[in-house]
Amino acid sequence: MTREPAPQAPPVALTIAGSDSGGGAGIQADLKTMEAHGVFATTALTAITAQNTRGVERSHVLPLEEIDAQFDAVVSDFDVGAIKTGMLATSEVVDLVAEKLASYDAPAVIDPVMVAATGDRLLEPEAERAYERLIAEATLVTPNADEAAVLTGVEPEDAEDAREAGEALVETGAEAALVKGGHLPTEEVKDVLVTADGARTFEHARIETEANHGSGCTLASAITARLAAGEDLSEAVEGSLAFMERAVRYSLDVGEGPGAVHHLADLRNRAEREPTAEAVQGIVDRFGEENVRALVPEVGMNVVGATPYAEDVGETAAVEGRITRTMRGISPNGGVRFGASSHVARFLLAAREFDPALRFAVNCRFDEDVERALGALDAPSAEFDRTGKPDGVKREDGGAMEWGVRRAFGDGHEDGETPAAVIDRGEVGKEAIVKLVAPDAEILVERTLAVHDAL
């Protein structure tokens, strides 16, 4: 028996960069990131480094003719949709790559890799001066604040300085510049995209981690992959920054150093959508079989499941229209879909800020009997009192519920252990509710049934 082949035709991108034997940055990061975006990645290796999460131990630059041959081999065979450069090491390599980019018509993302995250220098001083010609070939150049200062003489300390540095790079010849704000001393991370038409600032919360090995390579590779797939520049930058934020937050604890960014976090997250929805449906079915009618609040019950690296409501699955009481049991008003819950989903996402392992939650009715039954849980309970929330909390702190979660999981819960239940005693016009949380579906079922059986 023979089978018909089913070949695919993905977009193709090329990365011209050095290797990282530690696997977190360089060519290795580029390959993982591009493939995670559904783009076929090709390479032209410029240098071999002996490095890991702690630092760079040795570096060997390949002969120019070998780099030249790799580039020609790729572009003579593949329809390359976008090109990315990383570690180029010497002025001779920079000149060669600039010449090659000038000869090939494709968007070029220039990541001016000068210093590794560990502080090790990856570019000779002479090569810094050679970058002007390479930048002139750039569709986008992506320096961090330190690299922008070397390239332009402008030392960014805030978003306005970053814009000035970006404008200087555009004047040098780049079509656009993305001055990254991770190194800026600002509370929020502000990345500034400058084009001939103006500037756009992207803001997101700063993640308190040192596990950022490979972050620059990964961001530039993501943008390159998206450009190869046909996205416009602004769209590619915006999507890649979101991709990068997730990769940094859910970093990989590997090596003896700070760790590496998770290049496949977004891909793995998307792959878990169907299993997550199935898990929520399984919980709902169990609740129906066990008839947890006594725990359904007046506003209705909902079960929410978050994908492993969920960052927004659209990445949580829940019951459409909630679960309501019937004369003899419970009934879901609709099927399970992503984005179906707002209230419980936002609670779960807020709780994940304190414990990212939490994946599932359910809201239950609350009274004195239920409060006593919470003693049957395998972990402590926490609570917050809405009457104590500051004036204006909805406007300034993301809503009363997010404020309450912060009280319950943060400063309002002294021993630091993740609670199994969070009590919201309500207020005028707000029903008292208790929400149960768990890292997996089975534990959520066990906790819910433990409370139900103790009633």
Inter-axis angle of helices 343-352 and 400-409, nearest 10: 40
**Which has the higher per-residue pLDDT, 153 or 389?**
153
**How confident is the model at residue 390, as a pLDDT?**
62
**How confident is the model at residue 188, as a pLDDT?**
84
Do 226 and 190 touch, CB atoms closer than 8 A?
no
371-408: per-residue pLDDT in tens?
A: 999 999 988 999 887 766 665 555 444 466 777 788 78
Across the range 341-365, mean pLDDT stands at: 95
The fold for domain 272-454 equals L-fuculose-1-phosphate Aldolase (3.40.225)
Q: 265: pLDDT confidence band, cut at 50, 70 and 90?
A: very high
CA distances from 205 to 59, 81, 202, 210 (A): 35, 32, 10, 15
Domain-wise residue ranges, the chain: 12-270, 272-454
Please identify which residue in the block is written with the tokens 């997101």. Answer: 204
Does pLDDT of 119 surpass 80? Answer: no
* Residue of 173, 253, 252, 179 whose CA lies nearest to 219: 179
Strand 421-424 vs strand 433-438: parallel, antiparallel, or unpaired?
Answer: antiparallel
Across the range 172-181, mean pLDDT stands at: 93
Q: 181: pLDDT confidence band, cut at 50, 70 and 90?
A: confident
Give every CB contact of residue 174 below 8 A, 6+ residues apart in sequence.
Answer: 110, 135, 136, 138, 139, 140, 141
Does pLDDT of 56 surpass 90? Answer: no
Does pLDDT of 417 surpass 90? Answer: no
- CA 47 to chain CA centroid, Å, is 29
**How confident is the model at residue 131, as a pLDDT?**
85
Please state the φ and ψ torsions of residue 453, each to the nearest 5 degrees.
-70, -25
295-348: per-residue pLDDT in tens?
A: 999 999 999 999 999 999 999 999 999 999 999 999 999 999 999 998 999 999
- pTM listed for this prediction: 0.90
Nearest-angstrom CA–CA distance, 323 and 332: 4
**How confident is the model at residue 293, as a pLDDT?**
96
Do 26 and 49 touch, CB atoms closer than 8 A?
yes
Does pLDDT of 118 surpass 60? Answer: no
Please identify which residue in the block is written with the tokens 């071999």. Answer: 48
Name residue 94's beta-bridge partners. none
Average pLDDT of the chain is 90
285-295: per-residue pLDDT in tens?
A: 999 999 999 99
Does pLDDT of 120 surpass 70? Answer: no
Do 175 and 223 touch, CB atoms closer than 8 A?
no
Q: Which CATH number fits domain 12-270: 3.40.1190.20, 1.10.287.110, 3.40.50.300, 2.30.30.110?
A: 3.40.1190.20
